[in-house]
Amino acid sequence: MQKVDVHSVVDHAKFNGFHWMVMCLCALVLIFDGYDLFIFGVVLPAIMKEWGLTPLQAGALGSYALFGMMAGAMFFGPLADKIGRKKGIAICFALFSCATIVNGFARTPTEFGIFRFLAGLGCGGLMPNAVALMNEYAPKRLRSTLVAIMFSGYSLGGMLAAGVGIYVLPEFGWRSMFFVAAVPLIALPFIMLMLPESLGFLVRQGRHDEARQLLGRVEPSRTFNTQDELVLVGGGKGGSASVLELFREGRLLGTLCLWLAFFCCLLMVYALGSWLPKLMANAGYSLGSSLSFMLALNFGGMAGAILGGWLGDRFNLSKVMVGFFLAAAVSISLLGFKSSMPVLYLLIFVAGATTIGTQILLYAGTAQYYGLSIRSTGLGWASGIGRNGAIVGPLLGGALMTAQLPLQLNFIAFAIPGAIAMVAMVVFSVRESRQPHGTLTAVPATAN
């Protein structure tokens, strides 16, 4: 009998078809998740017109889903550490898909807000679980890149929402946008059939035969038989971890910096995602052009995530995020000034790359910062705290629109959180450089 360290096998495995499958399946669920999240910004002008909403009322309405996401992340993240990531993903996926379909039947803003809250519960719980699962199966040298590529499905979902809106809204109205969520439910059985369960969860549950079979797919060049004892070095006992664990063993400052960065980053993402089409429409652009700006924003998010993940695997992920937040603050500030169309699209692309893209990098970095036994808890709470920023974003946009400030001041207000997040990541990076065992580029055994 020999002991086999599951983390070590995964860390040193060669990238193969199994990794590709896990990445694609996780990306697929996030495509649908991203569609649901960005759909509000796409339909916002039509809803405001039909129900006669003020900008402040519209901003509040957009926050219902984000309250749900905050609660969903904090509940389903720790729950998945106890019941398994696969079940957690399935529950969240079904919840947000069903709630989104029902959203299309809403007759009043109150009904609309209730259904958006329920959809937000599923969306908020899905993200940390998908990231944790991909992080657990990704080889160490490719971890940031694979998580970033997987999470680019979120941006593809936003692009899908904008693209569908360009053609569907004028012909069929805003309600039809929500009925598209029936498609994910059709795909759910296939996704659940193919998606593997967490290796750490299987080992902790004593399901060693299933774990050996999956480990054989992770590293086909090795054979794992019943005489091999699978162990999780530094993996902890698992289960639903207490949030207090996120502050122990020198993690207090790192956790607070990550929470602040999440808050500011999601504020920028949802402020832009909710109000960019409306701001551009007020600036004189047509509905089609305003929605095309959303396409550029999300395409930038996808490109930024992949580039940032690649840079993070080769250099230092926290320092990469410092640079990205700086670029976000600059590019968003410049959006309020008159530019030629090519320059405007470039600025929106960069803004998407350094807000949506950096949000994805934050998930990757957080997954690497926390150990396996508290990973979903760490991701869930970071995401949940960040959802407060996501809630403030649409409300801030609504307040700015109500105040009828110049366009430049609107975008400068959206850019300030980028500067704050940059400072938070500078502190995080300095702290980690003084504790080499905790850096995001050299992941310790407890974080694998």
What pLDDT does 19 receive?
A: 92
- Quickly count: other Cβ atoms within 10 Å of residue 403's Cβ: 11
What is the per-residue pLDDT across 37-51, written as a single tens digit (0 to 9) for each?
A: 778 878 888 888 899
Between these two residues, 332 and 153, which has the higher pLDDT value? 332
Mapping DSSP to helix (H, G, I), strand (E, B) and coil, where does residue 2 land? strand
pLDDT at 21 over 90: yes
pLDDT at 438 over 70: no
Output b/e per residue, 196-228; b: 16+ Cβ within 10 A. bbbbbbbbbeeebeebbebbbbbbeeeebeeeb
Distance, CA of 92 to CA of 72 (rounded, Å): 8
Distance, CA of 137 to CA of 434 (rounded, Å): 29
Q: Which two tokens stand for residue 358?
A: 């950096």
Distance, CA of 230 to CA of 4 (rounded, Å): 5
What is the per-residue pLDDT across 101-113, written as a single tens digit (0 to 9) for each?
A: 999 999 899 999 9
What pLDDT does 441 receive?
A: 42
What is the per-residue pLDDT across 241-293, written as a single tens digit (0 to 9) for each?
A: 577 888 877 888 989 999 999 999 999 988 887 778 777 777 776 656 667 88
Between these two residues, 423 and 394, which has the higher pLDDT value? 423
What pLDDT does 101 receive?
A: 92
Distance, CA of 337 to CA of 174 (rounded, Å): 31
- When pLDDT is cut at 50, 70 and 90, the band that residue 200 belongs to is confident
Task: Return the axis-axis angle of helices 287-314 and 341-369, rounded to nearest 10°.
Answer: 40
What is the per-residue pLDDT across 389-406, written as a single tens digit (0 to 9) for each?
A: 888 887 888 888 788 778
pLDDT at 437 over 70: no
Distance, CA of 13 to CA of 3 (rounded, Å): 17
What pLDDT does 429 receive?
A: 87
- When pLDDT is cut at 50, 70 and 90, the band that residue 162 belongs to is confident
Q: Poorest-confidence range of 58-62, 189-193, 238-242?
A: 238-242
**Chain centroid to CA 280:** 25
Residue 405 neighbours by CB under 8 Å, 6+ apart:
none
Between these two residues, 193 and 338, which has the higher pLDDT value? 193
Distance, CA of 156 to CA of 24 (rounded, Å): 13
* Residue-averaged pLDDT of the chain: 83
pLDDT at 321 over 90: yes
Closest Cα to residue 35, out of 125, 153, 169, 116?
Answer: 153
Distance, CA of 73 to CA of 79 (rounded, Å): 10
Q: Which two tokens stand for residue 192?
A: 């659940």
Distance, CA of 157 to CA of 152 (rounded, Å): 9
Cβ atoms 240, 76 nearer than 8 A = no
pLDDT at 448 over 50: no
Distance, CA of 271 to CA of 333 (rounded, Å): 13
What pLDDT does 447 receive?
A: 31
